[in-house]
Structure 1
Amino acid sequence: MTTHRTLLPPGWPRPKGYSNGISARGRLLFTGGVVGWDEEEKFVSGDLAGQFRQVLVNTLAILAEGGAGPEHVVRMTWYVTSVADYRDGLAKIGAAWRELMGKNFPTMAVVEVAALVEPEARIEIETTAVVPEL
């Protein structure tokens, strides 16, 4: 069951890889800032694109605990330590997205920050999902 509707004003071009706005109804789930380490808190990769894939794996595991899947994600805020690394890794980031998130394109913001709390982290993502009320 769809829990949200993409908002695209008439005449606007379709954004690539994200949505400008979403209207949603249902039960809200939120994640804190999720980084690219494994269940033992060891980073699986030293680069942003490699950590991104693990962030998605971790995020989906957290959301599954609340009964949500990738199709329920409506908002993500990405904090990256280097926009240049983000741009350089777009092919790998896109491949990981397609593999794990499919064709769901939530609203997103990517923000470059000076540092993250975990010194090895190159990316941290906060996520909001909306699941149907039963």
Structure 2
Amino acid sequence: MHKIIQPDGWKPPKGYANGVLADGVPLYIGGQIGWTADQVFVAKDFVGQMEQALRNIVDVLEAAGGGPEHLTRLTWYVVDKKEYLAKQREVGEAYRRVLGKIFPAMTMVVVSALVEDEALIEIEATASIPADRNAA
């Protein structure tokens, strides 16, 4: 079970949590980029790659016996802040298609490049999977 931590007197965050307190077995998911399981970039745009990266995270969660509801943290690395800001509506729609209304603690970092030249975004994730559900 997760508990969202919101300090008294703080304005509520939009689309993320300031803190998440979690029970369970931690799962650390390495940075996922917007390519398929075959390491092919089908999407060439930011939103498409973001959606694929989130789907990749869900695949890893499911392989460990969990799901999006077990996410506790996402760290996003993006190469184009302006594109992200210009597409916030589409980003939100794609996010909800994959993760629903699950809003873990999040950080976004703008970087000059990612290791894969075609990658526009990379997302790391941390989850806490109940001991009776994990695949370990």
Range of TM-score over shorter length? over 0.9
Q: Say yes or no: does 1:63 pair with 2:96.
A: no
Q: Distance in 1 between matches of 2:81 and 2:57?
A: 21
Match 2:13 to one of 7, 12, 15 = 15
Match 1:104 to one of 102, 105, 108 = 102
User: 1:94 corresponds to which letter in structure 2?
Assistant: G
CA shift digits 1:93-125 (9 cap, x unpaired): 101111111111000000000100000000000
Q: Which runs of 4+ in 1 moved over 4 A?
A: none
The offset of 1:26, in angstroms, is: 0.6
Match of 2:41 in 1: 43
User: 2:25 corresponds to which letter in structure 1?
Assistant: R
| 1:44–1:54 contact (8 Å) kept in structure 2 | no
Using structure 2 for the length normalisation, give the TM-score.
Answer: 0.93
CA shift digits 1:20-76 (9 cap, x unpaired): 011111111111110000122111211111100000111100110001100000101
Match of 2:92 in 1: 94
Aligned to 2:30, what secondary structure does the other structure show?
Answer: coil
Match of 2:116 in 1: 118
**Uncovered stretches (5+) of structure 2, i.e. residues with no partner:** none
Match of 1:28 in 2: 26
The offset of 1:19, in angstroms, is: 0.4
User: 1:24 corresponds to which letter in structure 2?
Assistant: A
RMSD, matched Cα: 0.9
**Uncovered stretches (5+) of structure 1, i.e. residues with no partner:** none
Using structure 1 for the length normalisation, give the TM-score.
Answer: 0.95
Match of 2:126 in 1: 128
| Equivalences, count | 132
Q: Distance in 2 between matches of 1:111 and 1:77?
A: 8
Q: Distance in 2 between matches of 1:130 and 1:34?
A: 18
